[in-house]
Each structure stands twice: as C-alpha cells, then as structure tokens.
Chains A and B, each alone.
Chain A
Amino acid sequence: MPVEIYKDKFTGKGQEVILGATKEQGGTRAYTVKMGGSSTLPFLFYEGEIPNRPVIAMEVWDIKPEWNPCFEQYYGDVWNDPVAWAKKAEEYGAEVIYLRLQGADPELENSKSPEECAKLVKDVLAATGAPLIVEGPGQPDKDNDVLQAVAEAAAGENIALGVAEKDNYRGIAAAAMMGRHCIIGRSPVDINILKQLNIMITEMGVPIDKVINDPMTSSLGYGIEYSYSTMERARWGALIGDKMMTPPVICLAGPEAWSKKEPNAVGEDAGPGWGDQRDRGIMWEAMTAAALLQAGGDLVLMRHPEAVKLVKKQIDALMVPNKY
C-alpha cells in the first residue's frame, strides 16, 4: 500500500530580501545574495518552494577581539587590519561580510569617529566583492551617528545596517531609508516584540523587503530549543499570511557558540572526555549553526573557517530536494 505523505498547505510565504548590489544595480558588489522567500517550513521541499539556500556570513571586527587563541592561526596577521581580514573571510568562504564596529564604542579610550567608520566601510567595500552587513557599537546615540555616516558612505551598495531594537530603531531606520539599505531588527527571543518592531520599522517607511530579523538566537546547550520555538512560530506566522512575520532571519551562531564555556575550556576546566578544545570548539559552532538552520535561519554568522566548511557541506546536503 503506498504511503500517503501528509502535506500542509499554506497561504503565505516568507519575504525575499536581496543583500548587495552589483554594478548594474548601482553598487560595486561582485554578486548579490537572496534570502528567505520560502512557502513552507525549513527544507520541506515536498511541501512548498524554497527558492534560496541559507547564506553564510563571517565576522570581521574593526578592533582586535578577545577570541580564543585557536583563531590566531587564521586571523593572527589581520587582527589590526579589518580590510585584509575581510578579504581573508572571503577566502575562507564568507558569502557575506559582517563588519562589527566595536571600535566605535564610546566607552573605549580611542573610540572611533563616525567618519573613521565610514572610511573603513568604504575601504572594505573597495577590497571585497561580497555583500556587507555593518553592525554599530550598540550604544543608541553612537549607533545613530555611525550608521548614518556608514549609510551615506555605502550609498547604492544595498548593505544591511544593524541592529535596530524596540527602543532604538528610529535613527537606524532613517539611515537605512535614506541610503536605501536593509535593516536588521533584533528582538530578545520574543515573537511579540519581533512583530511589533517590524510594524514600527515599516511604519517609518522602510519597505518590508528591506527588513531582516535577528530573533537573538542562543548557543547549543544554552536554551537553543527556545530559539528554535520562536523561529518556528515566526515562520508559521508568515506561512499563514502574517506579513509582519515574513522577513528572513539571521542567526549569530559563531558569536553565541564561542561565548560559552564548552568550546573554549582547556585543562582542568574541561570535563572528562571532552577531547581536544579546537575540534570541540569547531563542532560546537557547527552544531549550533546546523540547529539554527533547521529552525529556519536564512543567514548564519560564523567565526571559525573549519566550522564554515562543515556547515556549507551540511547546507549542500539539506538543499537536495526531498520531493515525494
């Protein structure tokens, strides 16, 4: 007897968002990436359309970050040169560059000015071909000044500016609108705030096809199942026709995974049977990313080049259509 596969039928679908602009489109990127646009839950090809594969972005900081020593062999010579670092990220497989302007944090002694940040963004764009995401230092006033300058410097490039939050979105939304860039809206693992933030951003005039959501994903072992539920509920909302739940989702897999004890612990800090720290760290990040892809992530931010390789392989396998 043939098995009848139960298929859900949805009335809505995710919003497709394009990041980057090529020369023909008014920018200088070598290519653009498309995210989202699915009409079913993640990887259920037999139920709907999944027009775009998940995208891998890699982190580049404008100052030397406090990362595990195992990153030294990959980035040791570029810690203080973000432009060279961005080029290196491309070599390691980054499809999108995620530039974190931590050096503009006003709490720092030599806090970078908006002009310095804008120049850096221009230099990164000149040296690379990948679409770009720029995250401000995370302090509302400075975010506004920095991202305003960045938006102007990157005019025509269709970058993404982040991150807008419920109490800090107006300045970033205005900057995104003026430069016709995308905007990342972040909500604290809270579906209701995510929806409200999207409403507020679009009410300011940012079109929904320029909005990307960061639902604040967690790391493997630290409540990732809660992130999963939130992301699944958001996708479900989009599929039943809730336009404010349709933006593609980005997941900060690398930073989340590496901020935890397990990928970093060595010596006595590591539990029995934990094995080599380097391999464990890579796996911790890759597994975090893999889980978030299953949850519906459209872009994963990664840190370790070896984890990137593993996740790319995983995406290749997941994107083989499983039509019945």
Chain B
Amino acid sequence: MAFYMIGERINGMFKDIGEAVAKFDPKPIQDWAVKQTQAGAAYIDLNVGPTAADRLKSMEWMAKIISEVTDVPIALDSTNYDAIEAGLIAIGKPGALINSCPNERTKIERVFPMAAKYGAGIVALTMDKSGIPLNADARVAHAMELVASADEFGVPTDSLFIDPLILPCNVAQPHAPEVLEALRQIRTLCDPAPHTTLGLSNVSQGTPDRSLVNRTYVVMAICAGLDSAIIDVSDTTMVEAIATADMLLNHAIYCDSYVKVFRQR
C-alpha cells in the first residue's frame, strides 16, 4: 500500500499563487508544480482561490499549464463543479481527482457521474448539510453511503478518497480520536477498500508549532489506515515521518535510502 501525498501549495489563498491567478502568470504556478513533483507528490491540488475573476476559465488555464510541466495527476479543488468539469476537459486524460463532494444527494448526482465519465477519483467528505459529525460512527455512516453511491454511479470504490474531516485541535479536540477510529473502520467497508484522506493542516490551525502537530497526527492516522493526505510536501520533517511510518508498517521494503525512495514515486 503506497501513501499518496496530495500537494496543497497551488492554492489561490497563498499570496504568490493568488497574484499569478489574477494576472494569468504561469511561472509561480508551474514552479510549484515542478517543486511538488520533485518532493514526491502523487497528486497536485489545484485551487483557483478567491482572486480569480472567472473560476471556470482560471481552472481550465491552470490545469493546462500544470499539465505542461508535470505528469503528476491534478486534484481539482473547488465547490464549483462546472469549473471542475472544465478542468477535467482541459486535462484530457483519466486519473485526475475531484476535490471534493459531500454526502449530499444533489451534489453526488452532479459529481459521481462526472467522475465515471472522465475516469477521475473523488475526495468524498463524511458530512452533509447538517455539518461535520463528532463521533466516528456517524462519519462511517456517511462513508458507507458514499461507497454505495460510488457503486450506483459506476465509480470503482478504490477511486474514492474518503475524507473523515479533521478539525483544529485547539478548538475541537474531541474530533481527533474520532477521526482515527473512523479511519480504522472505513478501510473495512468494501473490497477493494476506498482510500482515505485528510486535509491534514486543518488539525494544527492556530497552534504555535504546526509542523509538530501535523506530523504527529499524520503518523497516528497512517497507523489507523490513512493512505493519503493533502499536505505541504515541502515540509521535510513531515515527509520523512510519513516515509518512516510507511516503512515501519511494512508497506515499503526497507533499504538504507528509504526516505529518498519514498520521494521518488
């Protein structure tokens, strides 16, 4: 079982990317695409952010310029599904990731057939209109419904990346252990099992040593079955911790250069 790192850096919320999106300047975006590829990203997240005047057009443009410099598939990150579809068309080949879709029927009916049509995976969130549940069982119930929806719309269950949604530990501390329990159970829902993912940096929002909280939690989560995460792939100590966890769980064969190999996908 490999661990899929989804590189979070191409997001219009970051200043350099935001400016690049506003000015249609490909360089900062392509530089980060290359940098994250070299760091071992399995997917490159693409979020146009708030500065884009036309989200659809920006998504299409960014998907195209990222595809020019890397073969790593793109995770199209938006709540605007028309923009995601424009991105999927611009990418023009299967293997992309739709980020994301909650367990809400109208959204599922829009996203899941689109994933089947373009051969894309889906980051599926264990929440609905009423929000993020606290306990593990409710998260797993959402996951089960998402798995059933995948089956209904012809999306292979191993194209699902179920995100049990971690919240900041400084304001919602009880969620952290519930997410770990949900991760354990989600892996057993079907065969082939869905992947699991987390927007990891959420856990450390507002804490003074974010990197420490992130890498500690990611190792705990990997132990509970997590096999992907949206992360800062340039956080070297975290990537090293992930590589070591992956090796210690006997997912990757040990060799002296195991950390380096982990980055060379």
Contacts and interface: CB of A to CB of B under 8 A. Distances in A.
A234 B255 CA distance: 12
Nearest to A12: B2
Interface string A151-186: 000000000000000000000000000000000000
A234 B252 CA distance: 11
Interface in B248-265: 251-257, 260-261, 264-265
A244 B2 contact: no
Contact of B2 (A195, A199, A234, A240): A240
A192 B1 CA distance: 18
Contact of B257 (A191, A196, A240): A196
Contacts of B253: 191-192, 195, 233-234, 237, 242, 245
A199 B1 contact: no
A41 to B, nearest CB: 16
A73 interface: no
B1 A196 contact: no
* Chain B interface, DSSP helix/strand/loop, else mixed: loop
Interface residues of B, number: 14
Nearest to A199: B257
B1 A244 contact: no
A195 B255 contact: yes
Contacts, number: 35
A234 B2 CA distance: 15
A241 B255 contact: no
Contact of A244 (B192, B251, B255): B255
Nearest to B264: A243
Contact of B261 (A191, A193, A240, A244): A244
Interface in B216-265: 251-257, 260-261, 264-265
A322 interface: no
Given A192-B255, A195-B255, A196-B256, A241 B264 contact: no
A11 B255 contact: no
Interface of B: 1-2, 192, 251-257, 260-261, 264-265
Interface of A: 9, 11, 191-193, 195-196, 199, 233-234, 237, 240-245
8 contacts: A11-B2, A191-B253, A192-B253, A195-B255, A195-B261, A199-B255, A233-B253, A242-B261
